[in-house]
Amino acid sequence: MTDINTWIDTEVKSNDVVLFMKGTPDAPMCGFSGRVVQILDHLGADYKGINILESGELRQGIKDYSNWPTIPQLYVKGEFIGGCDIVTEMFQSGELKTLLAEKTAA
């Protein structure tokens, strides 16, 4: 595992909900990242946003880590959930709310 993969793996496994995104939750830098932030905020999720634009190594590393070509990427309890389209579909069906409640319950 490369250093960036180790760092990503640590972030994914040490935080209940992690969103790798363009920008930050307070200032998303693309519409897709912004949509996922809105969904998570609407659900009241406690999550960590990681700005992939801060590092070219991180920007490529997260794509390699997940074997998923696009950003944003949402992880819950170490499990890759998906990108904007998948998160939006899960939100609309109620599945995301249920998943977050089950996986992040104290």
Q: Is the pLDDT of residue 2 over 60?
A: yes
- Residue 83 resides in a domain: yes
pLDDT tens digits, one per residue of 50-91? 999 999 999 999 999 999 999 999 999 999 999 999 999 999
Number of domains observed in the structure of the chain: 1
How open is the CA angle 89-104-88, to the nearest 5 degrees? Answer: 10
pLDDT at 105: 67
Does residue 45 lie in a domain region?
Answer: yes
The range of the structural domain enclosing residue 31 comes to 3-99
In the block, tokens 């992040």 appear at 104
Residue 25 lies in a domain: yes
Residue 106 lies in a domain: no
User: Could you tell me which residue, 105 or 27, shows the higher pLDDT?
Assistant: 27
Whole-number Å distance between alpha carbons of 59 and 69: 10
The answer, yes or no, to whether residue 103 has pLDDT greater than 70, is yes
Is 103 buried (19+), middle (13-18) or exposed (0-12) by CB count in 10 A?
middle
Is 21 a member of any domain? yes
Q: Please check whether residue 105 lies inside any domain of the structure.
A: no
The DSSP symbol for 94 reads T
Residue 104 in domain: no
CATH number of the domain encompassing residue 79: 3.40.30.10
Distance CA 2, CA 38 (A): 32
Place of tokens 């109620």: 94
Q: What percent of the chain has pLDDT over 70?
A: 97
Q: If you average pLDDT over every residue of the chain, what do you get?
A: 95
The percentage of residues in the chain with a pLDDT greater than 90, rounded to a whole number, is 94
